[in-house]
Amino acid sequence: METLKFKRALRFYLSMPIHITIVLAIFNIPVYYLSKKIGFLWTLLVIVYLITTSLIYNINKKRLAAEMVDFAVTYGTVQKRLLKSLGIPYVLLDERGKVVWSNDRFRELIGVDENYHKSISQYFTEITASTIERSGENGDTFTLKYNDRVFDAALRKLSFEESDDKGKEIDFEAGINSLTALLLFDVTELTEVKKQKEDQAMVPAYIYIDNYDDTVDAVEDVKKAMLQAVIDRTVNEYMEKAGAVVRKTEKDKYFAVFEHQYLKQMEDDKFKILEDVKNIKMGNDNDVTLSIGIGVNGNSYIQNAEYARMAINIALGRGGSQAVIKDNQDVSYYGIHGKEVEKNTRVKARVKAQALREIMEGRENVLIMGHSISDADAFGAAVGVFCAARELGKRAQIVLNTTTAALRPLRDLFTVENGYPEDMIVDSEQALSNLTSRSLVVVVDTNRAGYTECPELLTRCRSIVVLDHHRQGTDQIENPLLSYIEPYASSACEMIAEILQYFTEKINLKSQEADAIYAGILIDTNNFMTKTGVRTFEAAAYLRRNGAEMTRVRKLLREDMDTYKARAEVVRNASVYRKIFAISVCDAAKLESPTVVGAQAANELLSITGIKASFVLTEYQHKIYVSGRSIDEIDVQKILERLGGGGHLNVAGAQIEDSTTSHVKIRIENVLDQMIDEGEIVL
């Protein structure tokens, strides 16, 4: 059995008389040289001192050790008493989460006595054996609730696997290798204060009347004031319910500020004001629609206002008649069901055409690209921009990495033999090598950076123009010099045809160029059957005047027998979900343009009686391409947005990586079920 040993500073202090005796003995040597008599007396004195101190030490050694042990016990008792009466709940747990020891405050909290040694998970379900194992010696902190109180819980493992001075591990017969200490800090009041602060944070909102000129100004003067007054009252009454301060900044614009706690109320009623304003009838033929942009959770009021400005731009870019909330990096959309309202005025097209011309004039060369795996609309729009750049004498190139079978007839129109530069069409690598500090990148038929032929061009070029007809989403191209996004347009080619009319006095289009742009309109409108308006036919008429010929374009867009059979096979194998949704898979094998076939098959499925929306999945180049189509009742854009895609009310798509067609099909069905349960889709 080992005896108690003194250590470190205490051992040195108790052995001090021995050290003094040695010093005195050494000092006695020179004394002998001075006087033997004095040296002898000094020696006797040293001997007497040594004997006296040794006797005192030996006599009091056990007493001293006992008093030290008593002090240690008293000190440990004080510590234990302090832990026991500590105002913070404190408990020791074993590896399985059972209570080994707890203080008074913890037992008072959960209402047990000191004999409670059961699992703590009975009261705190968040704390389990796996939670304790994960905590480790570095500890773990998390938040939990108990009896309407909120606690910050701190877990830390206390290991007993330590060695003594001889390197021997302490052996515990109880079999407990470690204990875990749990401290609970009551932060209920702090949490409530934080929530109050968050609830009372000021939220800015921009509210715009989308179609003021086409709706309000079109009403006769007598009723115009009444219509405007009713709109003002509707906006003010709705915002006053949220305690908002509303100020009208222009005839068709409002700015509001309200507390954050009311935002949830607006989200729950899905911004009912959008429907209320739409139902206003005071002699107006068209429905009045609003766009709302809200910014929250920025670092400052200024940043929240910037978020709100970005949100209103997104709402307008998506066709209006909806509310957009930008919550830092997240964006949420709320809107009524309905298609984009076509604007008959071409003022905006003229302004954008002039702005594009001014930008091009100051650039050295122009690089044009559409979305990856370009279709006729993307390519036709790119050709239109090429013609605009050529009119200014600028070198222009179209970025095209993949030429599908459907696109090849159009691409073959632009060869050296037909008078076009050899490098008119380049791939991404060539485009990057031709990029300079004075280059302009024009993106057509998409506004998502990740969907373009060469996303790297957008990160390396500061001068970017976006021309698109799809609704804006979260992955939009940032900081373009010019952004012209019109969701009401049938196609990007329709927009380009309008721009070309105002770009110069008279722009000269060759017949094959007019054919390419006309083909883009034809494909995106499904032969003028979907999403067509007055301006669509006006654009087609303009192209017809410039040499486009329907028969020639139709020949260019013909398909081979394998493609036709593949599309028919997609329709044949389609399954019907919930009696109104057709879902099918397109087999990409032996097809040069499987995504095009998938989109065509989605259109074909709408011809079946009872089908309100169709979805065709195509696995191609390690991605799952989803083509969504509907006629008028189902908003496929909202459906595919939940899968990371986007588009329009009737035409939408998505690209999903690292998945399979069967898994994506299940995701689509789950989204449909969820939207039906939420009331977004009415069967």
DSSP string for 508-553: ---HHHHHHHHHHHHHHTTTTTSS--HHHHHHHHHHHHTT--HHHH
Instruction: Place 545 in a pLDDT band, splitting at 50, 70 and 90.
Output: very high
- Most confident segment among 83-87, 331-335, 557-561, 579-583: 579-583
**H/E element, 139:** none
Under 8 Å between Cβ of 56 and 63: no
Choose the final residue of a domain: 556, 584, 619: 556
For residue 261, give the CATH number of its domain.
3.30.70.270
97-101, 295-299, 635-639: least confident range: 97-101
Q: Show Cβ contacts of residue 433 under 8 Å, excluding neighbours closer than 6 positions.
A: none
Average of pLDDT values for 400-420? 91
Torsion of CA 382, 384, 385, 391, to 10 degrees: 150
- More confident call, 56 vs 293: 293
In this model, does residue 164 exceed pLDDT 70? no
Q: Determine, yes or no, domain membership for 183.
A: yes
Average of pLDDT values for 571-591? 92
Under 8 Å between Cβ of 394 and 388: no
In this model, does residue 29 exceed pLDDT 70? yes
Choose the final residue of a domain: 36, 55, 84: 84
- Reading the block at residue 625, the tokens are 């391409």
Tell me the three state secondary structure of residue 324: strand
What values do phi and psi take at 267, rounded to 5? -65, -40
Q: Determine, yes or no, domain membership for 106.
A: yes
What pLDDT score does 71 carry?
64
Are both 508 and 360 inside the same structural domain? yes
For residue 129, give the CATH number of its domain.
3.30.450.20
Helices and strands (H and E) in the chain: how many: 24, 23
Are both 573 and 619 inside the same structural domain? yes
CB count in 10 Å sphere of residue 274: 21
Instruction: Place 128 in a pLDDT band, splitting at 50, 70 and 90.
Output: confident
- Reading the block at residue 22, the tokens are 């040695």
With CA atoms as reference, report the closest residue to 387 among 514, 281, 488.
514
- Reading the block at residue 287, the tokens are 């429905």
In this model, does residue 65 exceed pLDDT 80? no
Choose the final residue of a domain: 505, 526, 556: 556
In this model, does residue 580 exceed pLDDT 60? yes
Under 8 Å between Cβ of 562 and 590: yes
Instruction: Place 44 in a pLDDT band, splitting at 50, 70 and 90.
Output: confident
Q: How many residues does the chain have?
A: 683
Note down the domain range covering 140. 90-161+176-194
The verdict on pTM exceeding 0.85 is no
Q: Determine, yes or no, domain membership for 325.
A: yes
Under 8 Å between Cβ of 65 and 7: no
Q: Determine, yes or no, domain membership for 2.
A: no
With CA atoms as reference, report the closest residue to 515 among 546, 492, 560.
546
Adjacent-strand bridge partners of 614:
582, 629
Place of tokens 């008599």: 37
> What is the per-residue pLDDT across 608-648, written as a single tens digit (0 to 9) for each?
999 999 999 999 888 999 999 998 788 898 899 889 888 77
Are both 391 and 499 inside the same structural domain? yes
What pLDDT score does 616 carry?
96
Task: Calculate the CA 144 to chain-centre distance.
Answer: 26
Q: Show Cβ contacts of residue 127 under 8 Å, excluding neighbours closer than 6 positions.
A: 93, 97, 120, 121, 144, 153, 155, 182
Q: How far is CA 601 from CA 472, 566, 571, 597, 618, in A?
A: 25, 9, 6, 6, 11
Are both 319 and 381 inside the same structural domain? no
Instruction: Place 96 in a pLDDT band, splitting at 50, 70 and 90.
Output: confident
> What is the per-residue pLDDT across 237-280, written as a single tens digit (0 to 9) for each?
999 888 899 999 998 999 999 999 999 989 888 899 998 998 88
What values do phi and psi take at 254, rounded to 5? -130, 155
What pLDDT score does 474 carry?
66
Half-sphere exposure of 601 (CA within 13 A, CB side): 32
> What is the per-residue pLDDT across 323-344, written as a single tens digit (0 to 9) for each?
999 988 788 888 755 445 555 5
Q: Determine, yes or no, domain membership for 169.
A: no
In this model, does residue 70 exceed pLDDT 70? no
Place of tokens 């929250």: 296
Q: Show Cβ contacts of residue 582 under 8 Å, excluding neighbours closer than 6 positions.
A: 574, 575, 576, 605, 608, 611, 613, 614, 615
Type of residue at 68: M
Which residue spans within 147-269 are E strands per DSSP? 149-159, 178-186, 202-209, 245-250, 253-259
> Using the 8-state DSSP alphabet, how is residue 438 labeled?
T
CA distance 68 to 255: 76
What values do phi and psi take at 253, rounded to 5? -135, 140
CA distance 397 to 423: 7
What is the rounded average pLDDT for all residues in the chain? 84
Under 8 Å between Cβ of 652 and 645: yes
CA distance 483 to 190: 46
What pLDDT score does 107 carry?
83
What pLDDT score does 514 carry?
95
Are both 547 and 579 inside the same structural domain? no
Which stretches of 318-454 are DSSP H helices?
347-361, 376-391, 408-411, 428-433
What pLDDT score does 174 carry?
43
What pLDDT score does 172 carry?
36
Q: Determine, yes or no, domain membership for 171.
A: no
Q: Determine, yes or no, domain membership for 170.
A: no
Are both 13 and 131 inside the same structural domain? no
For residue 644, give the CATH number of its domain.
3.10.310.30
Structural Rg of the chain based on CA atoms: 40
Tell me the three state secondary structure of residue 207: strand
Are both 543 and 434 inside the same structural domain? yes
CA distance 655 to 73: 71
- Reading the block at residue 91, the tokens are 């408990």
Angle between helices 347-361 and 376-391 (to 10 degrees): 60
Are both 667 and 585 inside the same structural domain? yes
Tell me the three state secondary structure of residue 635: coil
Are both 398 and 513 inside the same structural domain? yes
What values do phi and psi take at 397, rounded to 5? -135, 145
CA distance 335 to 472: 14
> Using the 8-state DSSP alphabet, how is residue 592 labeled?
S
With CA atoms as reference, report the closest residue to 178 among 68, 288, 82, 94.
94
Are both 131 and 241 inside the same structural domain? no
- More confident call, 358 vs 23: 358
Under 8 Å between Cβ of 96 and 119: yes
In this model, does residue 573 exceed pLDDT 90? yes
What pLDDT score does 530 carry?
77
Under 8 Å between Cβ of 493 and 380: yes
Are both 132 and 151 inside the same structural domain? yes
What pLDDT score does 196 carry?
83
Are both 431 and 479 inside the same structural domain? yes
With CA atoms as reference, report the closest residue to 321 among 368, 362, 286, 358.
286
Average of pLDDT values for 447-472? 90
CA distance 517 to 87: 77
Under 8 Å between Cβ of 242 and 182: no
In this model, does residue 124 exceed pLDDT 90? no
Q: Determine, yes or no, domain membership for 377.
A: yes
| Number of structural domains in the chain | 5
pLDDT over 90, % of the chain: 39
